[in-house]
Chain A
């Protein structure tokens, strides 16, 4: 046993955490900040991944196509998110559990649409060739470039989101509206417009994450369902309404799963099972997550 094995485990943990973080970060906004249970979140991830696939069909150069796909996925899923908010979610703000049902309907409809358009077989979203291969340090430790790219992408997202929420006018208005919509509107903010933009923004982030996730997993119409439950757990474990909470939740879940897998490498299903059981127990002790909101928060 040498130190490199531990480093390898550590990098594994970070990259899995980054994947969970990418999947959950859009939810951290729509669910964490707006308290909307968007079951169609996974389908926005799927939409982003398919956008990447379609762009690659027209632009053979993988580097350029990814660079085009990222903003395109942002625009498409932003539009889809705004549309969803305007048509459906706007009417359901008073009943969070009703949004669950309505968005579940959207989710299965979008999944089936994707199946009708792209078929059931997995579509390739190929990473640029400079992401192939691995950074090998020695025999025990080699880190594939794609893992590094995912980790960097996770960090980039975190910084971007923190910047927008804390340093821009939009972020200020979002925080104001979620804390007290009536007071915010007294200050000249239009809560209706902010809700629309926030939801669109959260969806758009899911779309970009979808391009990233599509690079290393198969792009199918069921891509979203694989991430939806884990994403919700990540947000809940971390603590609703807090970006660092989502980061902590993703880190906890990702590392935990890798450590359990490390003890029993042949069985990833068991690792996931134990991880979920751990989360269920964890919620018993911290029902509001790692970073609980202080003060008397009314139950959702």
Chain B
């Protein structure tokens, strides 16, 4: 039976993908373990783990845009919300531990009210408050916040999508509307009285409560593996989704919405489903991403982030799951290499080229060239070379 499964090229492709990612994760883990810990630094493992999460949101973007034809410029809003929801638990729990540890030396045990006041002071002192806002009421409950990671972005996507698709806002208008949504959310979170610490955002998320004795290195390996496994799961899910009958319908909606509507399909429901589904998966990716990043603030969900996301997918190759992963991984890794100042600068006689300053210029022009030359991005380009050889 296993053999017959493997005969299908689809299953072979999925298996090949899973093996590649797992091998890659093993190699990274081994390299960091076998040689001294510094051979692959903790921060580099975090970067890799974060990149895997970005690959997941790129997959979501690819499904919603490349397959369903909805150019959403707001998926980073869901990603960020997911991060905020898990960040609330991380920050609350950690502050609680700090407060309790500090109170051991005192003669009288603290009353619950005193504990809550101290936590409020610690977290909200920076925005000039000490009361714990209502939205933090269950922040000490991991499962509640985990549910919120799915529910809040899912609900936002549902309400927004329902309104937008119902009145048949399509194409460019929808893109601008989603952009407005993410701008509104980030502006809202920038306020100090939004209850989420304004422009300070949530910080210290890299410290996982209950794992205080575990070194950051080990935690980063855990998160790296979690991200890799999540990427594999999402890939398998999306792969079979887009290759199913459902996938054919959403691709057809992308190509000719009106015709599909006249064939009797309820186009709006399909679009709404895809929009909400990808939003929730983006949120989960965000919940895995921000503990590795350590900090989240409203600037993360500014409209430009979501445009970058669209560009990654376009560069990698839209309408193709591998393309999304290639695009997100290559562009974000190369960008972080160039902008972190690791790239050697080139000295010309009259001018010294600092990559930190010039990388964005090259990247921008690269976007233009890819858009002009190949609609199918890097993956389409590679495929055309490969097919010519055969």
At the interface, yes or no: B188 with Cβ under 8 Å from chain A?
A: yes
**B360 pairs with A269, CB closer than 8 A:** no
Chain A: which residue is nearest B71 at the CB level?
Answer: A97
**A108 pairs with B164, CB closer than 8 A:** no
**B357 pairs with A112, CB closer than 8 A:** yes
At the interface, yes or no: A164 with Cβ under 8 Å from chain B?
A: no
**A104 pairs with B311, CB closer than 8 A:** yes
**B368 pairs with A100, CB closer than 8 A:** no
Interface residues of A toward B: which range? 35 or more
- Contact residues in B for A107 (Cβ distance below 8 Å): 364
> Given the interface contacts A102-B372, A105-B311, does A283 sit within 8 Å of B173 by beta carbon?
yes
Option from B163, B193, B307, B364 in Cβ contact (under 8 Å) with A109: B364
Interface residues of B: mostly helix, strand, loop or mixed? helix
**A229 pairs with B361, CB closer than 8 A:** no
**A279 pairs with B180, CB closer than 8 A:** yes
- Contact residues in A for B314 (Cβ distance below 8 Å): 101
- Contact residues in A for B358 (Cβ distance below 8 Å): 112, 116
> Given the interface contacts A97-B71, A105-B365, A112-B361, does A233 sit within 8 Å of B170 by beta carbon?
no
- Contact residues in A for B333 (Cβ distance below 8 Å): none
Option from A106, A116, A273, A280 in Cβ contact (under 8 Å) with B357: A116
Most buried by A among B170, B304, B357: B304
Option from B187, B311, B367 in Cβ contact (under 8 Å) with A273: B187
Query: Which of A88-96, A124-132, A143-151, A186-194 forms contacts with chain B?
Result: A88-96
**B311 pairs with A96, CB closer than 8 A:** no
Q: How far is the CB of B334 from chain A (nearest CB, A)?
A: 15
**A229 pairs with B303, CB closer than 8 A:** yes
Determine the distance from Cα of A104 to Cα of B366 in the docked complex, in whole angstroms. 11
Q: Which of B349-370 contact A (CB under 8 A)?
A: 357-358, 360-368
- Contact residues in A for B164 (Cβ distance below 8 Å): 283-284
At the interface, yes or no: B171 with Cβ under 8 Å from chain A?
A: yes
**A269 pairs with B187, CB closer than 8 A:** yes
Determine the distance from Cα of A102 to Cα of B310 in the docked complex, in whole angstroms. 11
**B371 pairs with A284, CB closer than 8 A:** no
**A269 pairs with B191, CB closer than 8 A:** yes
The contact string, 1 if C-beta is below 8 Å from chain B, for chain A 277-300, is 101110111010000000000011
Determine the distance from Cα of A276 to Cα of B185 in the docked complex, in whole angstroms. 9
Determine the distance from Cα of A67 to Cα of B358 in the docked complex, in whole angstroms. 34
At the interface, yes or no: B166 with Cβ under 8 Å from chain A?
A: yes
> Given the interface contacts A98-B371, A116-B358, A299-B170, does A232 sit within 8 Å of B183 by beta carbon?
no
At the interface, yes or no: B241 with Cβ under 8 Å from chain A?
A: no
- Contact residues in B for A91 (Cβ distance below 8 Å): 372
**B184 pairs with A109, CB closer than 8 A:** no
Chain B: which residue is nearest A278 at the CB level?
Answer: B184
At the interface, yes or no: A63 with Cβ under 8 Å from chain B?
A: no
Determine the distance from Cα of A35 to Cα of B171 in the docked complex, in whole angstroms. 12
For B, the interface residue count at a CB cutoff of 8 angstroms equals 45
At the interface, yes or no: A16 with Cβ under 8 Å from chain B?
A: no
**A236 pairs with B368, CB closer than 8 A:** no
Most buried by A among B163, B169, B176, B358: B176
> Given the interface contacts A37-B172, A287-B167, does A276 sit within 8 Å of B180 by beta carbon?
yes
Q: How far is the CB of B133 from chain A (nearest CB, A)?
A: 15
**B187 pairs with A109, CB closer than 8 A:** no
Q: How far is the CB of A219 from chain B (nearest CB, A)?
A: 19
At the interface, yes or no: A267 with Cβ under 8 Å from chain B?
A: yes
Option from B163, B175, B191 in Cβ contact (under 8 Å) with A280: B163
- Contact residues in A for B368 (Cβ distance below 8 Å): 88, 102, 105-106
> Given the interface contacts A115-B357, A280-B163, does A101 sit within 8 Å of B367 by beta carbon?
yes
Q: Which of A232-290 contact B (CB under 8 A)?
A: 232-233, 236, 267, 269-270, 272-273, 276-277, 279-281, 283-285, 287
Chain B: which residue is nearest A40 at the CB level?
Answer: B364
**A101 pairs with B311, CB closer than 8 A:** yes
- Contact residues in A for B364 (Cβ distance below 8 Å): 104-110, 112
Q: How far is the CB of B190 from chain A (nearest CB, A)?
A: 5
Most buried by B among A101, A116, A236: A101
At the interface, yes or no: B251 with Cβ under 8 Å from chain A?
A: no
Determine the distance from Cα of A46 to Cα of B210 in the docked complex, in whole angstroms. 50
> Given the interface contacts A102-B367, A113-B361, A272-B187, does A280 sit within 8 Å of B177 by beta carbon?
yes
Chain A: which residue is nearest B168 at the CB level?
Answer: A287
Determine the distance from Cα of A37 to Cα of B171 in the docked complex, in whole angstroms. 11
> Given the interface contacts A109-B364, A112-B357, does A281 sit within 8 Å of B163 by beta carbon?
yes
Extra contacts, 16 of them, besides A102-B367, A109-B362, A109-B363 (Cβ < 8 A), are: A96-B172, A98-B371, A105-B364, A106-B364, A108-B360, A109-B360, A109-B364, A111-B360, A112-B357, A225-B304, A236-B173, A269-B191, A270-B191, A280-B180, A284-B164, A284-B167
Q: List 14 A-B contacts (CB under 8 A).
A: A91-B372, A97-B172, A97-B175, A100-B71, A105-B311, A105-B364, A115-B357, A229-B183, A232-B176, A267-B193, A270-B191, A276-B184, A287-B173, A299-B170
Question: Closest 5 interchain pairs by CB?
Answer: A105-B367, A109-B364, A276-B184, A112-B360, A105-B364
